[in-house]
Structure 1
Amino acid sequence: MICLYIEPGTTGENELKFTTLPRGFCSNCCPAKVYRDVRFVLYTRANPDSGVAIERLKAGAARAAGVDPSLPSVIFIHGFSEMSPGQSGRNIVDAYLSRQDNYNLILLDWSELSTFPWYVIAVRNVKYVGLRLKQFIEVFNESGEIPIGNLHVIGFSLGAHIAGVAGKILGADLRIPRITGLDPALPEFSLNDTSNRLTATDADYVDVIHTDSGVFGIPISIGHADFYPNGGRALQPGCLPSDLVGRLANHVVACSHVRAWRLYAQSVRDERAFPSTKCNVWRGPNRQCNFSTDAYMGYPNTK
């Protein structure tokens, strides 16, 4: 059974009302429940492989799972059609665990609500998963288990917009310090409508890595700092069809898109891997790029 569609409405303080898709749309679909189908799984040096689920959004649950309130916390949100931890989550966890400093690494698993091939339904579910993330942040900030001042939220593709929605509805009194968007998804999102996608106003600092601009990724600057490795668009180096002989078709199609989380993971391992320069025009005869290192892309990039 595949849990796909959430209908807005409330049945309790921390519960949403759910329903299936219209009759005949999906004969194998089941009602989705955000408290069941959105999971938060903690990875630390003590549990680096399988992780420990933070079972309930109640004070004490994060500490019981192994969260150390004194450490910085990272929440990573995967994209469409991924399982969790999946390739992106596994690479992010392994990169952080390779560092000498310690973190609470939390993977937000919404794979039941972002199942292939129902992309449009996954887009609709973004706002409900964002609401659940907002509730998670509120509960554990108030309990002192995951202080929001030590929180960094990272989202890939649709996951970037989930982070943005959570930041929007938290409001001015409770601000996420940093959101990193890894090639935020373009299909089904309006560049003019910012209500359901990541924007620079969703956190104190928003940095974005663009690797598939105009195809699977948003082509415009939407953060305080936007990085465009190799021009920020397909085809990224190593993504030519001839480079991907023998790979699955979806690896070829999404190669430039997934490069965003691969580059970010590398920046966690090597903070000086991606020196970057400010550049208003980087193509054509009016090019304004005389390279100087103004920032480092990825992990080390802060205000």
Structure 2
Amino acid sequence: YCTDMSLVSEKRKSYGSGEYCDNFTDLNLSHCFIGTSLYVRLLLYTRSNLDCGHELNHHHLSTQPLFNLTQPTAFVIHGYRPTGAPPIWIDHIVHLLAEQEDMNIIVVDWNRGAANLNYFTAVSYTREAAHNLTGFIMTMEEEGASLSSVHLIGVSLGAHLAGFVGANLKGKIGRITGLDPAGPMFTSATPEERLDPSDAMFVDVLHTDMNSFGLRGAHGHIDFYANGGADQPGCPKTIFAGKSYFVCDHQRSVFLFLCSLNRTCSLTGYPCSSYSDFLDGRCLQCETFKPASCPVLGYDVSQWRETLLQLGQTKVFFSTTATLPYRKLSYRVDMVTWNQYLRWGVVYIRLHSGRNFTEARIDHKLLRLEQYTSTRLLAQFDEDLPNIQKISLRINTGNVIGPRYKIRLLRIRFTPLERPERPLMCRFDIIMEENMEVAFRPLPCDSRL
């Protein structure tokens, strides 16, 4: 697709003693203003050359001693690059993938094509780049590789590029992972014009920016929606933050996936019809997936794969913190109220361990408290405190001028969702006043005062 081969040799640098490495194409804004012609480079990394990429010949794989066709192969496909700079996460994902298992890791460098101020031009190049990559994978198959061992990981526009490759190969690719598939120009696309479940034997998708650069809807066998799939915690809310305002939510998909590969954040997704239902505590059980429990975002999906393929398209939701390790600790809170007067309020729960505490604020909607009513809540905490010695509870009704009404809890029970080895915590017959905090020591649920 590009006749100027000097563009490739420019990206070589000395490594160690006399060894040369092929680096990701580094462009600048001048290239983006002028426009680039598509050129697809395939940079191979393995455990033996993690820090030194080797560009593969598209047609003569037998001459590539580092490329083992009997091993799994993961292709990493970036998206639109409006500034021409290499993605900051490329080295990270290569190293983390190599930790999962011994495999070929191929970075699909289509920066000459993706780097263009005209987004529509970059979109048009995805079909050509997919045709190029399809031919390479067909050559792999001819030389002994199994299509079922191929995993395409596509970011943004790269997710649709991966889908086009999968469609070209009649859905025989083993797996496609789409990280916040691009939305602009794909919102009204048919399944044939974007990533969809038929593009691979298994398709998993992570959504983080559906109200801007990401694509709304469900497009895989399983779709993970972080914080509902739109606004991410810690990302700027106003345009005055500059570039971060535009890219933060969209890029969060990559950082969440990297964190899952690093196994520092186990992000559990709960099957549900909507994020609001999830926050309401209506979708906190995963009997369908037993004994494997709820699906977890990440590389290893083997224990949930068969169930998900049987279910068809499954939506799962989870919440995160604003920073690493992103994970929230979730409790299912079941309580039975016996207050005389109907009250509406926001619930604050604090877990105390020694001098440390963590707080959950359940405020996505007002909670209805009435006589002899069982209520289920989802309480999500930013910190994981293992030995809970005290729990404090406050129900803020907003009542500031009238008398404080009493609220009686016949029972309150805390079930740790991601820590099933921990005991359930209960307390019985608590008398509290609205807007006032009450503290108590949790008891085993088979005990009473």
TM-score when scaled to structure 1?
0.79
The SS at the match of 1:60 is helix
Q: Against the structure 1 CA distance between its residues 136 and 185, is the aligned structure 2 distance closer, same or farther, given a 3 Å change threshold?
A: same
Q: Against the structure 1 CA distance between its residues 256 and 142, is the aligned structure 2 distance closer, same or farther, given a 3 Å change threshold?
A: same
The SS at the match of 2:59 is coil
Question: Structure 2: any 5+ residue segments left out of the alignment?
Answer: 4-31, 286-292, 306-449
Q: Against the structure 1 CA distance between its residues 84 and 39, is the aligned structure 2 distance closer, same or farther, given a 3 Å change threshold?
A: farther
- Alpha-carbon separation, structure 1, partners of 2:149 and 2:85: 24
Identify the structure with the greater strand proportion. Answer: 2
**1:103 lines up with 2:99 in the alignment:** no
Q: Give the C-alpha shift of residue 271 in structure 1.
A: 7.8
The SS at the match of 1:138 is helix
**1:157 lines up with 2:156 in the alignment:** yes
Q: Against the structure 1 CA distance between its residues 52 and 286, is the aligned structure 2 distance closer, same or farther, given a 3 Å change threshold?
A: closer
The SS at the match of 2:191 is coil
Q: Give the C-alpha shift of residue 29 in structure 1.
A: 4.5
Instruction: Report matched runs for 1:169-180 at 5 Å.
Output: 169-171=168-170, 175-180=172-177
> In 1, are the aligned partners of 2:235 and 2:244 still within 8 Å (CA)?
no
What's 1:129 paired with? 129
AA in 2 matched with 1:93: V
Q: Give the C-alpha shift of residue 95 in structure 1.
A: 1.5
The SS at the match of 2:205 is strand
What's 2:374 paired with? none
- Alpha-carbon separation, structure 2, partners of 1:137 and 1:271: 33
Identity %: 32
Q: Give the C-alpha shift of residue 170 in structure 1.
A: 1.2
What's 1:16 paired with? none
> In 1, are the aligned partners of 2:206 and 2:223 still within 8 Å (CA)?
yes
Greater RCO between the two (CA within 8 Å, min separation 6)? 1
What's 1:22 paired with? none
Q: Give the C-alpha shift of residue 223 in structure 1.
A: 0.7
Q: Whose radius of gyration is greater, 1 or 2?
A: 2
- Alpha-carbon separation, structure 2, partners of 1:192 and 1:211: 19
- Alpha-carbon separation, structure 2, partners of 1:27 and 1:87: 21
Q: Give the C-alpha shift of residue 266 in structure 1.
A: 1.2
Q: Give the C-alpha shift of residue 286 in structure 1.
A: 9.9
Instruction: Report matched runs for 1:268-283 at 5 Å.
Output: 268-270=261-263, 273-283=266-276
Q: Give the C-alpha shift of residue 288 in structure 1.
A: 6.3
Q: Against the structure 1 CA distance between its residues 178 and 114, is the aligned structure 2 distance closer, same or farther, given a 3 Å change threshold?
A: same
Q: Give the C-alpha shift of residue 28 in structure 1.
A: 3.7
The SS at the match of 1:228 is strand
What's 2:234 paired with? 238
What's 1:81 paired with? 81
Q: Give the C-alpha shift of residue 250 in structure 1.
A: 2.5
- Alpha-carbon separation, structure 2, partners of 1:210 and 1:217: 7
> In 2, are the aligned partners of 1:281 and 1:289 still within 8 Å (CA)?
no
Structure 1 segments (4+ residues) deviating >4 Å: 82-85, 284-288
Residues matched between the structures, number = 266
- Alpha-carbon separation, structure 2, partners of 1:285 and 1:104: 38
Q: Give the C-alpha shift of residue 240 in structure 1.
A: 2.5
**1:290 lines up with 2:292 in the alignment:** no
Q: Give the C-alpha shift of residue 299 in structure 1.
A: 1.4
Q: Against the structure 1 CA distance between its residues 27 and 41, is the aligned structure 2 distance closer, same or farther, given a 3 Å change threshold?
A: closer
The SS at the match of 2:192 is coil
What's 1:253 paired with? 246
TM-score when scaled to structure 2?
0.55
- Alpha-carbon separation, structure 1, partners of 2:202 and 2:130: 18
- Alpha-carbon separation, structure 1, partners of 2:223 and 2:188: 15
Task: Map Cα deviations across residues 75-108 of structure 1 (whole Å, 9 max, x no partner).
Answer: 01001017585223222112223x2632211100
Task: Map Cα deviations across residues 208-247 of structure 1 (whole Å, 9 max, x no partner).
Answer: 000001310011001110000111102x1221259x99x8
AA in 1 matched with 2:153: I
> In 1, are the aligned partners of 2:81 and 2:116 still within 8 Å (CA)?
yes
**1:211 lines up with 2:213 in the alignment:** no
AA in 1 matched with 2:236: L
Identify the structure with the greater helix proportion. Answer: 1
- Alpha-carbon separation, structure 2, partners of 1:176 and 1:201: 10
- Alpha-carbon separation, structure 2, partners of 1:125 and 1:133: 12
Q: Give the C-alpha shift of residue 192 in structure 1.
A: 4.2
